[in-house]
Amino acid sequence: MSEKIWLSSPHMSDEGYEMEYIKEAFDTNWIAPLGTNVDGFEKEVVKKVGAKHAAALVSGTAAIHLALIAAGIKEGDVVFCQDLTFSATANPIIYQRAIPVFIDSDYETWNMSASLLEEALEKYPQVKAVIITHLYGLSADLEKIVKLCKDKGVVLIEDAAESLGTTYKGQYTGTFGDYGILSFNGNKIITTSGGGMLLSDNEERINKARFWSTQARDKARHYQHSELGFNYRMSNVVAGIGRGQLKVLDQRLAKKNYIFEYYKKELQDLKDIGFMPVRHLNKPNFWISCITLCGEVRPEDVMDALAADNIESRPIWKPMHMQPFFQEYDFIGSDVGKTLFENGVCLPSDTKMSDEDLARVVKVIRSLWKDR
């Protein structure tokens, strides 16, 4: 069996930066949550992406949950959510007993359509917040979406779980909305094994998020609680991994870009193949290189052929309005997300891949076009 090629697996620094920070946590016995790595990681992420404040948390999902709470989302509130995304974007809306309304994507960005958002704002003038995703590291149509939300006074939350390092007009995704969230899950561009971060320019809200994330303990000697708390704070050991990983983010960005360009160069002549859209305002992080297929060769053929050679690939996210769990909620749009789901393939985008590995992937894919 050939060696396994992964879609996107953890890639620690060659220099061993992560272990240095972990060792420091051990040496100082700062194994408990909080400590220098947590503070340091928050400061370093803020500096890198140009946000003002950040709270390090156990996951990206927890960050979305706290963003909704910080935005005051309560039972019965309407929250717009990108339809084509991972379920983790939408689940926290349900945690708050709020009502999601799913909005379709456009082909230009693969993310929430600004014109459908406009339509949705007419239909639901009471909406409290909008959650957009920057799928696979492609930025959403930020200029239009930010303006629509500002004009209507609706809170904008950016799910930048997949787009750390992506810029739009030179500014990092996650810093355009009232809140941005990052994920450091094992498959993301950098990882802490599991983790997330909430970003905002609003210091008071970030301080509040830290408070909620550590069980909402009031300032008192005894255990006193005036609000609902959560155990959502990132640990000091995990944050050490993040500090080390952040040092190699630029290397990872360069490699992800290289992988996308490689596939494009080697596959673009194939009939009926398309690549994810890269627009001039947008400098993606190329977290995952995605293709679309609209001819005889179907995504299943590609995924099956790759799997037979021990190579991991995946379909594009299945839209939320097609998920059994979210059946009862409104959906605004048509079939853009559905079409991308049915025709898309996520190709291996692991930064540990060598040129030989990339050539192996390309060879398997090209073989499917041989007899057609």
Ligand X SMILES: *Cc1c(COP(=O)(O)O)cnc(C)c1O
Residues of the shown chain interacting with ligand X in the complex, contacts defined by CB under 6 A: 59-61, 85-86, 88-89, 133, 159, 161-162, 183, 185, 196
**Residue among 18 and 159 whose Cβ is closer to ligand X:** 159
Nearest distance from C-beta of residue 256 to ligand X, angstroms: 15
**Residue among 8 and 297 whose Cβ is closer to ligand X:** 8
**Nearest residue to 80 (alpha-carbon basis) of 126, 42, 48:** 126
**Nearest residue to 199 (alpha-carbon basis) of 46, 69, 37, 59:** 46
Nearest distance from C-beta of residue 308 to ligand X, angstroms: 27
**Residue among 167 and 183 whose Cβ is closer to ligand X:** 183
**Residue among 194 and 277 whose Cβ is closer to ligand X:** 194
Nearest distance from C-beta of residue 181 to ligand X, angstroms: 7
Nearest distance from C-beta of residue 252 to ligand X, angstroms: 16
The span from the CA of 148 to the CA of 195, in Å, is 31
Nearest distance from C-beta of residue 268 to ligand X, angstroms: 26
Q: Are 175 and 51 in contact (CB under 8 A)?
A: yes
Q: Are 212 and 69 in contact (CB under 8 A)?
A: yes
**Nearest residue to 330 (alpha-carbon basis) of 321, 318, 341:** 321
Cα pseudo-dihedral 272, 276, 281, 287, rounded to 10: -160
**Residue among 350 and 357 whose Cβ is closer to ligand X:** 350
Nearest distance from C-beta of residue 134 to ligand X, angstroms: 8
Nearest distance from C-beta of residue 67 to ligand X, angstroms: 11
The span from the CA of 318 to the CA of 68, in Å, is 23
The span from the CA of 335 to the CA of 109, in Å, is 15
CB atoms within 10 A of CB 184: 31
User: Residue 129's beta-bridge partner residues?
Assistant: 79, 155
**Residue among 104 and 159 whose Cβ is closer to ligand X:** 159
Radius of gyration of the chain (CA): 21
* 3-class DSSP string for 288-307: CEEEEECCCCCHHHHHHHHH
**Nearest residue to 236 (alpha-carbon basis) of 6, 16, 41, 12:** 41
**Residue among 89 and 109 whose Cβ is closer to ligand X:** 89
Chain residue at closest Cβ approach to ligand X: 60
Q: Write phi, then psi, for 58 (nearest 5 degrees).
A: -70, -20
Nearest distance from C-beta of residue 287 to ligand X, angstroms: 9
CB atoms within 10 A of CB 149: 23
**Residue among 59 and 292 whose Cβ is closer to ligand X:** 59
